Structure 1
Amino acid sequence: MRIRTLVAAAVLSTGLLACTEQAAPVAHAAVSGDAKALQAHLEFLASDALEGRDTGSRGHEIAAQYIVSNFKALGLEPAGDNGTYYQRIKFRRSSLKEGSASFSIDTGEEVVELEYGKEFLTGPSAYAEQSEVTAPVVFVGYGLVSEEFGLNDYANVDVDGKIVMMVSGRPADLPSEEGAHLNSSKKRFAAERGAVGIITLHTPAREEVRPFKVSAMYQRAPSVTWLNQEGEPNRAYKSLVGGAYIDFNAAEPLFAKAAISMDEVFAQLEKEQQPKPFELGVSVTLKLASEHDEISSPNVAAILPGSDPELKNEYVVYTAHSDHIGMTQDLSQDDHINNGAMDNASGVSVLLETARMFVESGERPKRSILFLSVTAEERGLLGADYFAHFPTVPLQQIVANVNLDMPVLLYDFADVIAFGSTHSTLGESVAEAAGQYGIELSEDPMPEQAIFTRSDHYPFVKKGVPAVFLMTGFTAKGEDENGGEIWGQFFAEHYHRPSDQPSLPINYEAGVVFTNINYEIGKTIANDAERPRWLADSFFADLD
């Protein structure tokens, strides 16, 4: 998530949500979340002793053991591998070897060498220690394909065995969530058409949002991907041998032989026109060397079996990621531990309390409930993605996913946001559950962020499972609190920083309300005669 835009969205949305009328609370179940239990869970998971719970670290292993201990104490059945609570995942961590990256453009008249870090960026290969590709370059607009939105940036060009060059971003007229999904599929579109490399062109419009030099600051961080049972990296598209991100200030030689200039392409983008694909008439050579090592980290899974003889074979899955970003390398700070209290010790704490409520309610739901804490969310939703590819229960029997990621429990909230609620009948379940506690279900206050595609429910969505991502809304109950400002301040001052720790003014009573709503959502889904379904007009109802 980009902090600046999220903060702005929070502040701007406050005025829109502050006048929301609160529904009168109705009677609800006697079982309830417990503030002291939430505090105990959060303070342990976000303690300095766990050193930020980075994927593959000792601190995250301790967090996983803590979650398992709680599942055992509740009498939940193990739902990991080989009769355990653990689903152990192997990851490959790839790093770019210093000084190995090169990018050269052959125009037929001269060879132009670009400077890594200043004119182009690239990342390590998850497959090979040595990577090299030379091929002609074809411009493919945004690099998108969608029959529904009338997009085919590969129309009338052959990219088999070639390097494709595309501009960053997506057309402005695409809906945000659908556009974000298509944007995340660019590598797949290229690989399916035989491309051997991708060059992404950093545009002047992108420069205004995120300068090229800012992207360069984060370029040397290792990349991580999970490995399948054959030891192959997932979705790294082996056929794509090379990739680079090039600053438009250095890209002119790529258009030296083209019928359309780079400036003409940018002019089309400014007018919100769709650039057509065309041959560039030059070739590019991309080289780099990568270093690999393997790490291991677990998902933790447990099941509360359902009571109905038929429906117990279907599952409602709760997810919350247990990892965070570990230790900061910023030596200017005295505190180097990114504790991750709100991100996502709070979500895991709510998950654990939700599990206790189901066990102690005395009313076993009809469908089974699967509680899943996932690893490597901060590395790219990898733990959830692995589970979606290798589920420990039949995928077709998972009826819904309710995701808990970073409930900001710093104020007495009057509304909740459920990203994805407009795409399936789950929106009705959330509204009903929240209403029992006098809490409104608000619309997404920052649709431009496409958050529905940016947390652990998304891998389930891509497998066809209806999902919602529940978050505290921007409206506070009291006149002395401004929920949107508090939420925005958290992102500005504490998000992914050492100050996201238990010493924040955490409102555990608000956490109880959030937990109770979360429990009621799952209870409603688990006991409903019909399983949740995608709405007919939802783009996500029939993903490829």
Structure 2
Amino acid sequence: MRTITLATLCLLLSACGDKPQSASTAPEADINRIKGHMAFLADDLLEGRDTGSRGHEIAAKYVASQFQQLGLRPAGTDGYMQRVPFIQAFLEQNSPSFTLTTAAGSASLAYPKDYTTSPSTLYAHAQVSGELVFVGYGIEAPRLNHNDYANIDVAGKIVVVLTGKPASFPSEEGAHFASGSEKARYAAEHGAIGMLTISTPANEKRRPYQSRLNYIHTPRVRWLTPDGQPHGAEPALLNSAYLSIPAAQKLFADAPRSLDDIYAELELDGTPQGFALNARVDFSKDSQFKRISSPNVAAILPGTDPELKNEYVIYSAHTDHIGLAKTVEKDNINNGAMDNATGTSVLLETARLMSEGQPPKRSVLFLAVTGEEKGLLGADYFAHYPTVSKSALVANVNLDMPVLTFEASDIIAFGAEHSSLKGIVEQAAEKVGLTLGQDPWPAEAIFTRSDHYPFVKQGIPAVFVVPGMTAKDPDVDGEAKWQEFLAKHYHKPSDELNASFNWQAAKTFTQVNLMIGQTLANTAARPVWNEGDFFGDTFAK
């Protein structure tokens, strides 16, 4: 086990003017402080910081102690802590039963060979019986002139939906419409009582059905509302499952069209229309429940302007990771150094720099969230139940898994193009000699996949900032460095603190985040969504 050295942090107050500091006058990030934070957060002692674990509790206490040493104001519901209640559901692996009835008779599908199913967070015994109706992708998107439920009656029936989205959908908007939670909501709103998702040949290439079997023992986690209900669960949908392609073909045995015909239409970028499958399903499973809690950690650096101090810029980073790996290897601890001890350490150093530098006009809220790896849960809870007025939250800057193995000449701000934040990020990058790079993976819709997105869904402009792909050293292939981490170390025990870290890159990345925060905190006008932007039009309140 590595030896942990904790640096002692001091709160320094300076009397400065109101203008944001330039890069030359701003306090500089301290590499040793960043190293010290990471050495603690990625240590074996914390056992991978799984949500609800003792290791994550220690990480949260550490972050709170750092906030306290900086003199930041507690912004939790209990000091610096905002404890989030969760329900964990575990599937009883011998319980799933699935019977398909067609004109040829009844036949059983085998779990998990033919289908997978997640535990229910609502029902100890989940049972659904009903007729099957195919509804294409199962999406209702008026803005894109798409409605898979048009002229189809699914009330009291089980819908069968294709995974994914139409090829014509924009990537980020499409990711929103194609999410499992949105598809479940559409189905429930139209009166469905169950949902079966079927794979496609294109999806099978990206994520083979066989790979899903690695997660059948993973518990389902949701946060609980004040009345104890699992948030995001659809009570009307009594059961759901994901079918392999061979199993899915059996559903279409007596249908007007075969599944192969549907797949052929997808190859031509078509959007199949729905129809009754002339089949029914009887499907049940059993789940066991456990209630846990895990804290978000929140602190405020108060602003100085008589009016703007009542508004808040939020920095967020998740402290949780995925805990212990199920492996026979000696090292089974997923330390999560890059994911996301880096982001948390940069957040802590940014908090120090802002507290030591020129006081901001707006207040700045530093938020270390739990449950990101379970589905952005801690951030979603805070976005629903913020410890300050929701209307006072003006922008979110999210720090998640900055890959710090080389010095980049640019930064990437996922989602910047949706709001006035793009100009602010560009200005900040320029002050430290960087440029704003383009989204390197537009098809992956990264903007919808980290802790900033719950804030977006509350109408708050947000960016997800990471170092870019272009290396300062022309002999270094930055994109290859990113791909190397993702292929070899992401969500593996090998994501640990080692010699591959480039500490100058960590310093530069901290410096640019400081500049972003200072600009946001001192600009008179609050950030706004771009006119006609989908996310602003959909979520801004």
TM-score, length basis structure 2: 0.94
Whole-Å Cα distance in 2 between the matches of residues 232 and 290 of structure 1?
16
The counterpart of 1:111, out of the listed 106, 109, 120, is: 106
The counterpart of 1:477, out of the listed 472, 476, 480, is: 472
Q: Which moved more, 1:490-499 or 1:64-73?
A: 490-499
The counterpart of 2:249, out of the listed 220, 242, 252, is: 252
Q: Aligned residue for 1:9?
A: none
Deviations 1:9-56 (A, max 9, x none): xxxxxxxxxxxxxxxxx8543311110100000111001111111111
Shift of 1:262: 1.6
Gaps of 5+ in 1: 1-25
Q: Does 1:208 align with 2:211?
A: no
Whole-Å Cα distance in 2 between the matches of residues 223 and 500 of structure 1?
24
Q: Secondary structure at the match of 1:474?
A: coil
Q: Secondary structure at the match of 2:517?
A: helix
Q: Secondary structure at the match of 2:432?
A: coil
Whole-Å Cα distance in 1 between the matches of residues 535 and 491 of structure 2?
30
Whole-Å Cα distance in 1 between the matches of residues 453 and 403 of structure 2?
20
Q: Does 1:39 align with 2:28?
A: no
Give the residue type in structure 2 aligned to 1:215: R
Q: Secondary structure at the match of 1:157?
A: coil
Shift of 1:85: 0.5
Give the residue type in structure 1 aligned to 2:69: A
Instruction: Report which structure shows greater RCO (CA 8 Å, sep ≥6).
Output: 1
Gaps of 5+ in 2: 1-21
Q: Aligned residue for 1:144?
A: 139
The counterpart of 1:412, out of the listed 407, 424, 427, is: 407
Whole-Å Cα distance in 1 between the matches of residues 297 and 362 of structure 2?
20
Deviations 1:88-115 (A, max 9, x none): 0111111110210011112254112101
Q: Aligned residue for 1:79?
A: 75
Q: Which moved more, 1:289-298 or 1:253-262?
A: 253-262
1:42 touches 1:341 (CA, 8 Å); kept in 2? yes
The counterpart of 1:328, out of the listed 325, 334, 338, is: 325
Q: Aligned residue for 1:51?
A: 47
Whole-Å Cα distance in 1 between the matches of residues 310 and 257 of structure 2?
58
Q: Aligned residue for 1:282?
A: 279
Whole-Å Cα distance in 1 between the matches of residues 201 and 26 of structure 2?
57
Q: Aligned residue for 1:403?
A: 398
Shift of 1:176: 1.0
Whole-Å Cα distance in 1 between the matches of residues 405 and 135 of structure 2?
46
Q: Which moved more, 1:493-502 or 1:26-35?
A: 26-35
Q: Does 1:157 align with 2:152?
A: yes
Whole-Å Cα distance in 1 between the matches of residues 376 and 154 of structure 2?
30
Q: Does 1:266 align with 2:270?
A: no
Q: Aligned residue for 2:16?
A: none
Whole-Å Cα distance in 2 between the matches of residues 100 and 61 of structure 1?
34
Q: Aligned residue for 2:8?
A: none
Q: Secondary structure at the match of 2:287?
A: strand
Q: Secondary structure at the match of 2:50?
A: coil
2:447 touches 2:453 (CA, 8 Å); kept in 1? yes
Whole-Å Cα distance in 2 between the matches of residues 112 and 505 of structure 1?
54
Q: Does 1:300 align with 2:297?
A: yes
Q: Does 1:29 align with 2:31?
A: no
Structure 1 residues 27 and 228: alpha-carbon distance in aligned structure 2, compared to 1, 3 A threshold = closer
Q: Secondary structure at the match of 1:317?
A: strand
Deviations 1:194-248 (A, max 9, x none): 1111101112222222221111222221111111111110011111111011112
Give the residue type in structure 1 aligned to 2:521: A
Structure 1 residues 542 and 490: alpha-carbon distance in aligned structure 2, compared to 1, 3 A threshold = same
Whole-Å Cα distance in 1 between the matches of residues 521 and 175 of structure 2?
30
Q: Secondary structure at the match of 1:386?
A: helix
Q: Secondary structure at the match of 1:428?
A: helix
Whole-Å Cα distance in 1 between the matches of residues 475 and 203 of structure 2?
39
Whole-Å Cα distance in 1 between the matches of residues 469 and 253 of structure 2?
51
Give the residue type in structure 1 aligned to 2:211: V
Q: Which moved more, 1:517-526 or 1:249-258?
A: 249-258
Q: Aligned residue for 1:99?
A: 94
Q: Which moved more, 1:155-164 or 1:105-114?
A: 105-114
Give the residue type in structure 2 aligned to 1:354: T
Q: Which moved more, 1:248-257 or 1:480-489?
A: 248-257
Q: Aligned residue for 1:89?
A: 84
Q: Aligned residue for 2:14?
A: none
Q: Aligned residue for 1:433?
A: 428
TM-score, length basis structure 1: 0.93
Q: Aligned residue for 1:13?
A: none
RMSD of equivalent CA atoms: 1.2
Whole-Å Cα distance in 2 between the matches of residues 211 and 412 of structure 1?
35
1:203 touches 1:247 (CA, 8 Å); kept in 2? no
Q: Secondary structure at the match of 1:533?
A: coil
Deviations 1:267-298 (A, max 9, x none): 11111111111111221111000011111100
The counterpart of 2:62, out of the listed 66, 73, 81, is: 66
Q: Aligned residue for 1:241?
A: 238
Q: Which moved more, 1:72-81 or 1:508-517?
A: 508-517
Q: Secondary structure at the match of 1:366?
A: coil
Q: Does 1:174 align with 2:169?
A: yes
Whole-Å Cα distance in 1 between the matches of residues 24 and 245 of structure 2?
58
1:163 touches 1:195 (CA, 8 Å); kept in 2? yes
Give the residue type in structure 1 aligned to 2:155: D
Whole-Å Cα distance in 1 between the matches of residues 99 and 190 of structure 2?
24
Q: Secondary structure at the match of 1:251?
A: helix
2:87 touches 2:290 (CA, 8 Å); kept in 1? yes
Shift of 1:253: 3.1
Whole-Å Cα distance in 2 between the matches of residues 155 and 30 of structure 1?
58
Q: Secondary structure at the match of 2:333?
A: coil
Give the residue type in structure 2 aligned to 1:522: G
The counterpart of 2:500, out of the listed 497, 505, 530, is: 505
Q: Secondary structure at the match of 2:525?
A: coil
Structure 1 residues 519 and 27: alpha-carbon distance in aligned structure 2, compared to 1, 3 A threshold = closer
Q: Aligned residue for 2:123?
A: 128
Shift of 1:506: 1.2
Shift of 1:339: 0.7
Deviations 1:503-526 (A, max 9, x none): 142111211111111011011111
Q: Secondary structure at the match of 1:148?
A: helix
Whole-Å Cα distance in 2 between the matches of residues 400 and 204 of structure 1?
40
1:144 touches 1:151 (CA, 8 Å); kept in 2? yes
Q: Aligned residue for 1:12?
A: none
Whole-Å Cα distance in 1 between the matches of residues 133 and 452 of structure 2?
35
Structure 1 residues 105 and 347: alpha-carbon distance in aligned structure 2, compared to 1, 3 A threshold = same
2:103 touches 2:254 (CA, 8 Å); kept in 1? no
Structure 1 residues 360 and 27: alpha-carbon distance in aligned structure 2, compared to 1, 3 A threshold = closer
Q: Does 1:195 align with 2:195?
A: no
Whole-Å Cα distance in 1 between the matches of residues 475 and 32 of structure 2?
25
